[in-house]
Amino acid sequence: MNKNTSFFKDALDYNPETGLFVWKVRPRVHFSTDRGWNLFNSTKAGKVAGTISEQGYLKINFGGTIHRAHRLAWLFCHGYYPAEDIDHINHIRSDNRISNLRIASRKENQRNQSLHRNNKSGHNGVHWRNDCQKWRAMIMVNGKSKHLGYFSNIEDAVKARILANELSGFHNNHGAST
């Protein structure tokens, strides 16, 4: 990124309790023309910044460069952009409250995913097998699928998966619905 922290702080207010960014009246040096400066400040100043991307992240446009709001939130509160991922703990990608954000490796971030839309059992790693008329529990760890067992009732399959989550270092929020 070629802009420093003060550039963003001159342009935006961030509320860490709500996660919202609001445009400030921006200084003239942010613009190449008086017209652009006047137009921006008369239409955007005081308004909530950003739009929601197709993936659900809040993004903020600075002069043609798109910035993800969760990374800006981290910058505002901690003074730097981390090299690692920033995980939305509650799985809501537009919830940029600083208490909902954590630095995570890619692996840690993948171990805190919401329940997939096409899931039919309502539980990660648990599905019905017609061939044996049982619930199967499984987990993916380090790119390898691990069979946890077949179960007559869904509750036992879910318990097996929860235990495997804990033993494999998955976040306790992994698989929760948003």
Give yes or no: residues 93 and 143 share one domain. no
Indicate the pTM of the whole model: 0.73
Give yes or no: residues 136 and 100 share one domain. no
Give yes or no: residues 29 and 64 share one domain. yes
Nearest to 115, CA basis, from 100, 125, 103: 125
102-144 pLDDT tens trace: 999 888 877 777 767 777 887 888 889 999 999 998 888 888 8
Given a contact cutoff of 8 angstroms between Cβ atoms, the answer to whether 3 and 67 are in contact is: no
Q: What pLDDT does 3 receive? A: 58
List Cβ neighbours of 178 (8 Å cut-off, separation of 6 or more). 90, 91, 92, 114, 115
Give yes or no: residues 153 and 100 share one domain. no
CA distance 158 to 127: 10
Q: Count of domains in the chain?
A: 2
Average pLDDT, the chain: 89
Give yes or no: residues 9 and 83 share one domain. yes
Q: What pLDDT does 158 receive? A: 83
Q: Which residues pair with 134 in a beta bridge?
A: 129
Give yes or no: residues 62 and 11 share one domain. yes
Q: What pLDDT does 164 receive? A: 83
Beta strand residue intervals within the chain, DSSP E: 12-15, 20-23, 51-52, 58-62, 65-68, 85-88, 101-104, 126-129, 134-141, 144-151
Q: What pLDDT does 31 receive? A: 93
Q: Quick one: the chain helix, strand, coil %, rounded to 5?
A: 30, 25, 45
Burial letters 32-53, b for 16+ CB under 10 A, else e: eeeeebeebbeebeeeebbeee
Give yes or no: residues 101 and 123 share one domain. no
Domain that holds residue 91: 5-108
| CATH code assigned at 133 | 3.30.730.10
Q: pLDDT tier at 14 (50, 70, 90 boundaries)?
A: very high
81-96 pLDDT tens trace: 889 999 999 989 999 9
Give yes or no: residues 28 and 96 share one domain. yes
Give yes or no: residues 126 and 157 share one domain. yes
How many secondary structure helices (H) and strands (E) does the chain include?
5, 10
CA distance 169 to 24: 42
